[in-house]
Amino acid sequence: MPPPQPESCRRENTLHFILSLFPALSCVAFASVGRWDLSGLVFGLTFIVIGYGCIIPRARLFCHHISELPHPAAEKGQVWITLDDGPDPATTPALLAILDRHQAKAGFFLIGDKAQKHPELVREIAQRGHLIGNHSQTHPAGRFWTLRPTEMWQEIASCQETLRGILGADPVWFRPPVGHHNLFIAPVLKALGLTMAIWNCRGFDGIEKRADVILHRISRSVKPGSIILLHDATPVCVEVLERTLHMLQERQLSPVLPG
Ligand SMILES: [Zn+2]
C-alpha cells in the first residue's frame, strides 16, 4: 500500500481537475446557446492540446522532463542507456552480463509488480552499480494518460514503495509507461521527489521483432548526450543491447549514468 497522498499534492491536482473541466463546460455552454461553431472549435482545440500534451512523449505541456543528457555530458561523448519493463528472469541476467562485459552502466526502469515477484533481480541490478528507476506499479500502457489523480498517485507511489522495500532507498528517476503524461502527473512526481526521464533515441524494440531494423533506427538517431530507450523482456533485447554497445564503441560514445 502506498503512503497517503500529501495534502499539497491533493490540492494541486484538485485545481488541475477543476481546470480540466473548463473546456467541456465551455463546449456545453456554447452548444446550449446555439453556437455550435464555437463549441466545435473548443472541442477541436482541446482534442489537439490533450493529444499533443499527453500522447507525445517529448511534449512538456503537463510535466517537465529531460530527454537528453546536459551539455557537459554531450561534449564528452556520453550517452545514457535505459532499459524499460524489467525485471525478467528470462532476460535480465543476460543483459547484466553483457553490460558487465562492456564495463557499461545502464538505467533500469522497473515495473513494481514484476519487481515484487523478482526482488533478487532488483537487488542484483543495484549491486552491479546500475541505476533503478520507477516505471509505475502495473504499467497500464494503454490508459496511463487517462488516469485520475488518485490512480496516478497509486501507480507511481506504489512502485516507489515496492522499490524502497527491496532496496532500502527511494528511486529518483521516473519514466511513464509508453512515455505518456497527463495533467495530474507533475504534482505526484514533485511530492515523491522524482524527475521524469524520456529519451531522444529509440528503435521501437517494444514492437519491432527484427534486431537489424531496431539497430538501424538507433544508430541513425544516436548522438552525444542521447538517452537511448531499450526494453528488457523482449525476444531480441539481449542481441539488441549487445549490438548497441558495439555500435556505441565504434562511434566513441560512452554509456554513463546521469550525474
Ligand atoms: Zn514500459
Query: What is the CATH classification number for the domain harbouring 180?
Result: 3.20.20.370
Q: Residue 232 is part of which domain span? A: 65-255
Contact 91, 230 (CB under 8 A): no
Q: How far is the CA of 140 from the centre of ligand 1 (A)?
A: 9
Based on the residue annotation, tell me whether 231 is a catalytic residue of this protein.
yes
Based on the residue annotation, tell me whether 84 is a catalytic residue of this protein.
yes
Q: How far is the CA of 31 from the centre of ligand 1 (A)?
A: 40
Residue 77 lies in a domain: yes
Q: What is the dihedral of CA 244, 249, 251, 254, to 10 degrees?
A: 90
Q: What is the pTM of this model?
A: 0.91
Residue 2 lies in a domain: no
Q: How far is the CA of 109 from the centre of ligand 1 (A)?
A: 8
C-alpha cell at 232: 528488457
Out of 130, 135, 180, 231, pick the active-site residue. Answer: 231
Residue 71 lies in a domain: yes
The one-digit pLDDT tens for each residue of the chain (259 residues) are 888 899 999 998 888 888 888 888 888 888 898 999 998 888 888 888 888 877 888 888 888 899 999 999 999 999 999 999 999 999 999 999 999 999 999 999 999 999 999 999 999 999 999 999 999 999 999 899 989 999 999 999 999 999 999 999 999 999 999 999 888 999 999 999 999 999 999 999 989 999 999 999 999 999 999 999 999 999 999 999 999 999 999 999 999 999 8
Residue 142 lies in a domain: yes
Residue 41 lies in a domain: no
CA distances to 59, 213, 240 from 207, in Å: 22, 11, 13
Residue 36 lies in a domain: no
Structurally, the chain folds into a number of domains equal to: 1
